[in-house]
C-alpha cells in the first residue's frame, strides 16, 4: 500500500508543476495514518507554505500530533520550526506553548537554554 501511495505521489508530481493543497492534505493524512511522521511533516510544511495563511489552516488535531511527535522524539528544533510555521500563519493554538516547553524539557535543555528559546520565539510567559 505504501508503494502504491509513493507511486501515486511520483506520478502526480510528474503531471503537475506543483501539487495543490488538496493533494498535499491527502498525502499528509496518508502518512499520518501510516505513522510515517517525517513524510507527513514534509507534506504538512508544504501545505502551510503553499497556503500562506490565505485559505487553509492546519487542523488542531494535526498540530497536536506533530507536537506530541516532537516531544516524544525530544526534537526541540523541530518543535520550534513547527511553531514558527504556525506563527507565520497566525494560527498558533493556545496549548502549543505548554507542549513546546515539555519538548524542551524532554530534550534535556537547561533552564537558561529554555529561557533563551522562549525569548527567541517571542513567547511571553506570565506567572
Are residues 69 and 43 both part of a single domain?
no
Are residues 21 and 34 both part of a single domain?
yes
Distance from the Cα of residue 19 to its chain's centroid: 18
User: Quick one: pLDDT band at residue 89, thresholds 50, 70, 90?
Assistant: confident
Residue span of the structural domain in which 43 resides: 1-54
Identify the pLDDT of residue 33: 92
Average pLDDT, the chain: 85
Residue 78, pLDDT above cutoff 80: yes
> CA angle at residue 11 from 28 to 42, to 5 degrees?
25
Identify the pLDDT of residue 77: 95
Are residues 27 and 45 both part of a single domain?
yes
| Domains identified in the chain, total number | 2
Instruction: Decide: 32 and 40 in contact? Cβ < 8 Å.
Output: yes
Compute the average pLDDT of residues 13-22. 73
Distance, CA of 80 to CA of 10 (rounded, Å):
30
Distance, CA of 54 to CA of 105 (rounded, Å):
34
Compute the average pLDDT of residues 82-97. 84
Identify the pLDDT of residue 36: 95
Are residues 42 and 71 both part of a single domain?
no
Amino acid at each position: 500500500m505504501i508503494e502504491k501511495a509513493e507511486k501515486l505521489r511520483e506520478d502526480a508530481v510528474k503531471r503537475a508543476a506543483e501539487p495543490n493543497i488538496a493533494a498535499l492534505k491527502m498525502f499528509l493524512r496518508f502518512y499520518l495514518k501510516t505513522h510515517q511522521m517525517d513524510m507527513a511533516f514534509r507534506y504538512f510544511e508544504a501545505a502551510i507554505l503553499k497556503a500562506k495563511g490565505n485559505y487553509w489552516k492546519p487542523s488542531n488535531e494535526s498540530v497536536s500530533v506533530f507536537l506530541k511527535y516532537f516531544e516524544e522524539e525530544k526534537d526541540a528544533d523541530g518543535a520550534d520550526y513547527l511553531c514558527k510555521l504556525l506563527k507565520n500563519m497566525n494560527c498558533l493554538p493556545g496549548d502549543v506553548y505548554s507542549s513546546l516547553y515539555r519538548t524542551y524539557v524532554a530534550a534535556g535543555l537547561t533552564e537558561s537554554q529554555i529561557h533563551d528559546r522562549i525569548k527567541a520565539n517571542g513567547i511571553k510567559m506570565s506567572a
